[in-house]
Amino acid sequence: MRVLLTGFEPFGNSSLNPSGEIVKAIKADNIIGAVLPVVFGQSSEMLKDLIDLHKPDAVVCLGQGEGRHAITPERIAVNLDDARIADNAGNMPTDQLIVDSGPAAYFSTLPVKEMVNAMKSAGVPAAVSMSAGTFVCNHLFYALQHHLVGSTVRSGFIHVPLMDQQRFEFSGLPSMPLAQMVAGVQACLKLLSA
């Protein structure tokens, strides 16, 4: 089972992004890791190129979800870019479709509830999420699912909390130790490989 695992570079005012740090921390022969730019369009094009190049059996994309207390596999990607802040290239789309002819939404093809149970069994706080927002995370998730329509490749998106090292940048928001988030993602990947 070859898995493409992606995270994001830091964005906004942060010097870190836990999703990218998790990808850097997980090393295995069957894991292809990549850290993507927080840029509408560019991130999804890079992801599609990686899928076409490596032909993985599963694609798991990670992103930072500030304000979240748990690791949250996403169920639904919506066909909407609507940014409250600019991406790392200064883009700030408002009420734009991601794919003009695409459906309103796609469901994850990952076993999201089973992933939550696997993470909880590993002692990692986890919950299913019904909204990936409308920023670059959702953009990537929707583009991923659209690209793989009709494919047997399992794919989806997981939001992770802030990491403890970001507490000073995001005062008052919940965080989680990086090692615990790595353990949670590894539990998800183990489930996919079972």
Among 109, 110, 112, 105, smallest CA distance to 142 is for 105
Show which residues are catalytic: 74, 137, 159
- Structural domain including 121 reads 3-193
How far is it, in rounded angstroms, from Cα 52 to Cα 116? 29
Given a cut of 90, is residue 28 above it in pLDDT? yes
Q: Give the residue ranges of DSSP H helices in 11-55.
A: 18-25, 42-54
Given a cut of 90, is residue 13 above it in pLDDT? no
Instruction: Calculate mean pLDDT across residues 184-188.
Output: 98
Q: Give the residue ranges of DSSP H helices in the chain.
A: 18-25, 42-54, 112-121, 136-147, 178-193
How far is it, in rounded angstroms, from Cα 49 to Cα 55? 10
Domains in the chain: how many in total? 1
DSSP 117-139: HHHHHTT--B--BS---SSHHHH
How far is it, in rounded angstroms, from Cα 192 to Cα 112? 11
User: What pLDDT is attached to residue 12?
Assistant: 85
How far is it, in rounded angstroms, from Cα 48 to Cα 29? 21
Q: How confident is the model at residue 111 (pLDDT cuts 50, 70, 90)?
A: very high
Given a cut of 90, is residue 89 above it in pLDDT? yes
Q: What is the CATH number of the domain that holds 89?
A: 3.40.630.20
Q: How confident is the model at residue 171 (pLDDT cuts 50, 70, 90)?
A: confident
The set of residues, in sequence order, having a beta carbon less than 8 Å from that of 168 and lying 6+ positions away, is none
Instruction: Calculate mean pLDDT across residues 170-190.
Output: 96
